[in-house]
Chains A and B, each alone.
Chain A
Amino acid sequence: QQQVKQSPQSLIVQKGGISIINCAYENTAFDYFPWYQQFPGKGPALLIAIRPDVSEKKEGRFTISFNKSAKQFSLHIMDSQPGDSATYFCAASGGGSNYKLTFGKGTLLTVNP
């Protein structure tokens, strides 16, 4: 049972465009929703995270939008740059094991110059 579903699997965007990656979750006990960024040959690193008491969080060009009723959240990358080319993972945690992260399957983002 996949508790966090991520789409699309891959995404190609032109420089300056907007990249949008979507995730949906099933477990209503989840209360922490981070996004991780992974460059080739490296470990994932936390990019931005949100809790369900807010509908949006923005850090620079990266924004998380959160829809609690739909159990969906998304990452928007504004003014996408070639340096943003990486794999992005959404994740969720909460409930009794609030330190365990459940990851989506990842989105490979390519930003063309």
Chain B
Amino acid sequence: NAGVTQTPKFQVLKTGQSMTLQCAQDMNHEYMSWYRQDPGMGLRLIHYSVGAGITDQGEVPNGYNVSRSTTEDFPLRLLSAAPSQTSVYFCASSYLRDRERPQYFGPGTRLTVT
């Protein structure tokens, strides 16, 4: 199993540009989520999904869109990048009904918006 994969690893955008961060998992997990990590702020939930066709907002959803057309993929779209979106982005997945509910994180995408 490859686990949770994310592409790209690094990205530099200019203000106003759009892009999609890719996330895929091969563990047949129902739950997938996106976090951003900023110094001193911990991990903040952006959007999440409990299955194909179902998405919902997390703590910091503004400026981001998601969709879940398959169980495996959960892309994160930045519609018009802003310097405030400079961050490290992590995708994570887990089973919904696992009693211990461990979330598996991808390696992250480091995004810089200039």
Q: Which residues of A contact B (CB under 8 A)?
A: 6, 9, 32, 34, 36, 41-46, 49, 89, 93, 98-106
Chain A residues contacting B58 (CB-CB under 8 Å) are 100
Q: Please measure, in the bound complex, the distance between the C-alpha atom of A96 and the C-alpha atom of B90, giving whole angstroms.
A: 24
Q: Give the Cβ gap from B26 to chain A, nearest Cβ, in Å.
A: 16
User: Is there contact, CB below 8 Å, between B48 and A89?
Assistant: no
Chain B residues contacting A9 (CB-CB under 8 Å) are 40
Q: Give the Cβ gap from A6 to chain B, nearest Cβ, in Å.
A: 8
Q: Please measure, in the bound complex, the distance between the C-alpha atom of A46 and the C-alpha atom of B100, giving whole angstroms.
A: 11
Jot down 21 A-B pairs with beta carbons below 8 A, ordered by A.
A41-B107, A42-B107, A43-B4, A43-B90, A43-B105, A43-B107, A44-B43, A44-B105, A46-B103, A49-B102, A89-B42, A99-B94, A99-B101, A100-B45, A100-B48, A101-B103, A103-B35, A103-B43, A105-B40, A105-B42, A106-B43
Q: Give the Cβ gap from B8 to chain A, nearest Cβ, in Å.
A: 14
Chain A residues contacting B42 (CB-CB under 8 Å) are 6, 89, 103-106
Chain B residues contacting A41 (CB-CB under 8 Å) are 107-108
Q: Does B2 contact A (CB under 8 A)?
A: no
Chain A residues contacting B48 (CB-CB under 8 Å) are 100
Interface residues of B in 28-62 (CB under 8 A from A): 31, 33, 35, 40-45, 48, 50, 58
